[in-house]
A and B are shown apart, each in its own frame.
Chain A
């Protein structure tokens, strides 16, 4: 099935452990094929299966962790 790219802008990260905990949590979500979070860019770059999950759900997962997450910059 198709895999779509997604950017999530994330505010509030200040160190590597924030990055690792976000990557760890997001990678567990059904439908997420890949996730890489960049502290410098303040952004997560994902690929996901639109049949299993959607951008808003993935944004909410990051917000649920206590960070501010946006689908646009």
Chain B
């Protein structure tokens, strides 16, 4: 599975909580990790990067793609 790294402008637990709930809606095929202080989100999934990007953008926060890890 490809591991993608995104930078998401999270500033508090509320924001990381929202990202967690949004990614949980993608179902169990997606594994993810959130580092709030570094504002990074790693997602392991077969889904296309731009689908993951669109999903993260639902949070209303700014999202940047850092590439695969």
Nearest residue, chain B, Cβ from A39 = B14
Does residue B11 face the partner (Cβ distance < 8 Å to A)? yes
Fill in one digit per residue for A19-38: 1 if any B CB lies within 8 Å of its CB, else 0: 00110110000000000000
Check B21 for interface membership: any CB of A closer than 8 A.
yes
- Please count the residue pairs between chain A and chain B whose beta carbons lie under 8 angstroms apart in the complex: 49
Cβ-based interface call for B45 (8 A): no
B residues in contact with A71, CB < 8 Å: none
Question: For the complex, would chain B's binding face be called helix, strand, loop or mixed by DSSP majority?
Answer: helix
Residues of chain B contacted by A14 (CB below 8 angstroms): 12-14, 17
Q: How many residues of chain A get a CB closer than 8 Å to chain B's CBs?
A: 15
Interface residues of A (CB under 8 A from B): 12-15, 17-18, 21-22, 24-25, 64-68
**Interface of B toward A, CB cutoff 8 Å:** 9, 11-15, 17-22, 58-61
Besides A24-B60, A66-B17, 13 other CB < 8 A contacts? A12-B14, A14-B12, A18-B18, A21-B15, A22-B60, A25-B60, A64-B22, A65-B22, A65-B58, A65-B60, A66-B19, A66-B20, A66-B21
